[in-house]
Amino acid sequence: MLPKLAKVFVFLVDDFNGEDVQRGTISALESLGLKVHFAEILGGGRRNGVYGAWHNGFFSAVLEQTAK
């Protein structure tokens, strides 16, 4: 399926607040049949600090490749 990645791996997506980014990410995870062990969105549109380090959102997940 994804031969260059470990069976269980960390997946990161920057600018996750964009609707097209969210839709594309979720669609890809579903179509690849990846199991989600953990997922977190940092920021979610809230500014954090002077420069808003996560102002466009940041998605992190621990995923596992499953036989499809």
Cα distances (Å, whole numbers) of residue 12 to 18, 50, 60, 64, 67:
15, 23, 5, 14, 22
Q: What is the pLDDT of residues 21-43, one digit of tens each?
A: 999 999 999 999 999 999 999 87
Q: Please give the pLDDT value at position 30.
A: 95
| Confidence band of 49 (pLDDT split at 50, 70, 90) | low
pLDDT at 12 over 80: yes
Q: What are phi and psi of 63, to 5 degrees?
A: -120, 155
Q: Please give the pLDDT value at position 38.
A: 96
pLDDT at 51 over 70: no
Percentage of the chain beyond pLDDT 90 is 59
